[in-house]
Chain A
Amino acid sequence: MSRERNPATQPGAPALSGPRISRRILAAWLPWWPSERLARHRPEARSRPFVTVAEHNGLLIVDAANPRATRAGLTPGMPLADGRAIVPDVIVRPADPAADALALERLARWADRFTPRVMPDGTDTLFLDIAGCTRIFGGEEALTASLRSALEGFGLTVRLALADTPGAAWALTRYGAENPAVAPSGAGPDGLKRALSRLPVAALRLGSDVAEALVSFGLDRICTLFAIEPVELIRRFGTEPVRRLDQALGRIDEPITPLRPLPPREAHRAFAEPISTAADIRAAVDGLLDDLCGEMGRAGEGARRLYLVCHRVEGDRRTLTVGTSRPLRRKKPLMGLFAEKLDQVEPGFGIDEIVLAADIVETIDELQTDWSGETPGGYRAADEEELANLLDRLGNRFGFGRIGRPVPRESWLPERAAVREGLLGSGSGVRPGSGPHPGSAAQPKPAAHPAVPASWPEDRRRPLRLLSPPEPVEAVNLEPGGSPFGFRYRGRFRQLRAVEGPERLECEWWREDAPRRDYYLAEDEAGCRYWIYRAGTQDPGTTPRPRWFLHGVFA
């Protein structure tokens, strides 16, 4: 491969996969991951030989070993019986690859304090794209050192490498001379070639069979591959060596897929001394909101949902989420929403980093007011703002699903004539200030829709409380199909002194299973007013007796 190829014209590569300009990959290889993970809360597993075993064809095979066991000669792939012969007092645990992978993912989530772009790779590696994140930590070197000390603090052995591609960083963690190994930044494929040339071909993340095949042909160092035409390599060894080489040199893009989608706006703060008092946490959130609100202000955006992630010294985290009914970037109300919840953060031994992120943001249309603070419609912007703040506080405490405005719906069925319109759903469509009248944002959205009535008809008397579902009652009527004389409800007979009705309500034709209802407004001797109905018609000849229900109560 003596000539340089243009990656965009390369047949195997997607058209848009040119090397990205700013990427800096920090790879962390945890060579003893399964054993050190299990040893975290078992001190004896660190000081004594320790292996995990998996069953293969009825034979227990060593799956992973800790450094002590390895030094004693217990290596992965060895039958446990042989291992016991070498080290009789070895501690044995069953291998659990699923738990290993899960823990690695958790570790990757923990590592998103350094950069949001973290990806676990394989069974024992983390890739962190730290481009643009180094300044907060005082540079690349300091970030690497801080990741290393944190991981070593967890009792993990780690080998770190920095390079412009994941492939090169991976190679350097395994075969680099130093720890951390650093490939120069921004050097392009040529610089990476120099950094990798002396490493064995296995450093290219090749399958062991391919690597062995290459070595058997005398191609043992990466530099030996540079001299061979890719076509030849592909013909003899398949596409893998060429693809891996191109990935390592950055000729084909290899994306880092973050575990969680990147929030549009984020601010974070790391503490040299972990904080744990409520006042400190509050002050930190206050500062973070300053940053975030400033950022959103410059972008003309507001947050609809924010979360606050408190990384604890123990290595886990506490997350608080708040939602807002409209895009918001004013610090005071946002602080108010978090203040309600900050006591849920248990600092434990302390919090060493806090990340505040807005993961749903929307553009804010500023409401125009003149110097008097009022809009031409006589409508006070401050009122709208205050109401929205109130609803946000209520929503964050009780859940937005429990707050709503009842709005009319075109239906004859009483239980369907009013629906609860939530606050969150309407936010994206109607925003304060976007309508002709600023106040219209506070009105129910269907009001703008011609088919839906603005309110319920005033001429039909409807109860103040609607029982859902309607409660069956035993009604007595003098003549079939006539109005009731009294009814028994909850064990008491209520004699009716005045009855108005019936008001016949029929279901929509597409709900044919539901019978028609005859509603009566009935007042008993005590002055209680009920809304009762008879389901179905009652003809003198029909045998099934109509059923009566109490559906509501009037004032």
Chain B
Amino acid sequence: MATLPKTKRDAADALRRTIRGIEEAASPEQPRLPLGVSRIDRALPGGGLRLGCIHEVAGDEAATGFCAALLTLALAAGAPGGKILWLARGDDLYAPGLVRYGIEAGQLLVVSGLRRQEDMLWAMEEALRCRAVRGVVAEMGGVAGGGGVGPAAGRRLMLAAEGTGVLGLVLSRRDGERRRGGGGVQVAVSRWRVTGVPGGHGGSDGPETRWRVELRRCRGGRPAEWIVGWGDEGWKAVPPSDAASGPGMRRAG
């Protein structure tokens, strides 16, 4: 994209905006969910993550944290009393760890042991149809029965989410490297990859939680990459100069 001359790039941008207009006229306009990090929100069309559709988040454990943070935002954006549904492959999700990302006890419902892809898709579709649910996470990576979500299954999920405005997240764990072809959710409006990066010096709170957040694909947006730190007051973008700071070995105890 960067190789295009400026006029051509402008023309391409104009075309893209037109296409986006047509696309959004076809599907009902869904509200946006600002992430609260202005650098990221600026890169997302409409200034935030589109609700009522599917987003894919891949990566290591940081992706789980990223999903939890997005779900908290979705909870806050909706009416009180909303719930989060976590469709888990195993039984290792640890709810006390989610508190740091803003999900309290009582807001979370977990369905565990969904090892088959078809079960996962079925459960996700059902959950996306439910108005009392604000967000659904499906731990898809490594589920038996197929890599990725095909166009037909994906379309069903999209339709279910469109009707209710529920945020649907497909969490691909163990899928550190991007797979070519069939992998991933093809209908996902945005695809993210979130991985842990070594934190800064850390405060009194131990090693700081720091993620590399890559927006790999986004309908109507451009791929981009940020380093984000998670602290007590939520997340903030870390300036590139600070992110590159050398390793600081901190010892305690």
Q: Do A and B come from one complex?
A: yes
Interface positions of A (Cβ within 8 A of B): 378-380, 382-384, 386-387, 389-391, 393-394, 397-398, 402-408, 414, 417-418, 420, 439, 442-444, 447, 454-458, 460-468, 482-483, 497-502, 520-523, 525-529, 552-555
Residue in B closest to A415 when the chains form the complex, CB atoms:
B94
Q: Are B123 and A394 in contact (CB under 8 A)?
A: yes
Q: How far is the CA of A501 from the CA of B202 in the complex (A)?
A: 13
A498-B249 CB under 8 A given contacts A464-B93, A523-B198: yes
Cβ contact within 8 Å between B64 and A527: no
Q: Do the beta carbons of A529 and B97 come within 8 Å of each other? A: no
In-complex Cβ contact of A501 among B82, B198, B210, B252 (8 A): B252
Question: Please, which residues of chain A bring their CB within 8 A of the CB of B105?
Answer: 405-408, 444, 447, 454-456
Give the shortest distance, in Å, between A391 (CB) and chain B (any CB). 7
- B152 close to chain A: CB less than 8 A: no
The CA of A458 and the CA of B95, in the complex, are separated in Å by 12
Cβ 8 A contact of B206, one of A406, A439, A521, A528: A521
Contact status of A500 and B211, CB under 8 A, knowing A454-B105, A462-B100, A464-B61: no
State which of B104, B127, B197, B202 has its C-beta within 8 Å of the C-beta of A455: B104
Instruction: Please encode chain B, from 81 to 109, with 1 for each CB lying within 8 Å of some chain A CB and 0 for all others.
Output: 11101000001111111111100111011
Shortest C-beta distance, A343 to chain B (Å), equals 14
Given A378-B80, A520-B253, A555-B64, CB of A498 within 8 Å of CB of B206: yes
Measured CA separation A393–B197 after assembly (Å) = 40
Among B61, B79, B202, B252, the residue within 8 A (CB) of A554 is B61
B251 within 8 A of A: yes
Interface residues contributed by chain B, number (CB under 8 Å): 66
Given A406-B95, A466-B92, A483-B252, A394–B126 Cβ distance below 8 Å?
A: yes
Question: How far does the alpha carbon of A192 sit from the alpha carbon of B94 in the complex, in Å?
Answer: 71
Indicate with 1 or 0, residue by residue over B176-204, a CB within 8 angstroms of chain A CB atoms: 00000000000000000001111100100
- Given A398-B113, A555-B65, A527:B81 Cβ within 8 A: no
Q: Are A405 and B109 in touch, CB under 8 angstroms?
A: yes
* Structural contact, B81 and A442, CB atoms closer than 8 A: yes
Q: Is the CB of A555 within 8 A of B62?
A: yes
Q: Report A84 CB to chain B, min CB distance, Å.
A: 60
Which stretch of B6-14, B48-56, B128-136, B214-222 is in the interface? Answer: B128-136
Do B206 and A397 touch (CB < 8 A)? no
Query: B16 to nearest A CB, angstroms?
Result: 33
B109 contacts A403, C-beta separation under 8 Å: yes
Decide: B100 and A502 in contact? CB cutoff 8 A: no
Residues of B near A463 (CB, < 8 A) are 94, 97
Q: Tell me, in angstroms, the Cα distance from A315 to B63 when the chains sit together.
A: 55
Is B209 part of the contact surface with A, judged by Cβ < 8 Å?
A: yes
CB-nearest residue of chain B relative to A408? B105
Q: Is the CB of B104 within 8 A of A526?
A: no
Q: Does B247 sit at the interface, judged by CB under 8 A? A: yes
Contacts A460-B96, A461-B100, A500-B250 known; list 7 others, CB within 8 Å.
Answer: A390-B126, A398-B119, A404-B109, A500-B253, A527-B197, A555-B62, A555-B63
> Could you tell me if B211 and A555 are in contact, using CB atoms closer than 8 angstroms?
yes
Q: Which residues of A contact B223 (CB under 8 A)?
A: none
CB-contact partner of A447 in B95, B106, B202, B212, under 8 A: B106
- List of B residues within 8 angstroms of A523 by Cβ: 198-199, 207
Enumerate chain A residues within 8 angstroms of B250, measured Cβ to Cβ: 498-500
Residues of A within 8 A of B94 (CB): 414, 418, 462-466, 552
Residue contact B99 to A382, C-beta cutoff 8 Å: no
Residue of B nearest to A503 (CB): B253
Expressed in whole angstroms, the Cα–Cα distance for A328 and B209 within the complex equals 46
User: B123 touching A398 by the CB < 8 A rule?
Assistant: yes
Assess the B252–A499 pair: CB atoms within 8 A: yes
Q: Which residues of B contact A384 (CB under 8 A)?
A: 81, 132
What are the residues of chain B within 8 A of A482 when measuring CB–CB?
Answer: 253
Determine the chain B residues whose CB is within 8 A of the CB of A394 once the complex forms.
111, 123, 126-127
* B104 and chain A: residue at smallest CB distance: A455
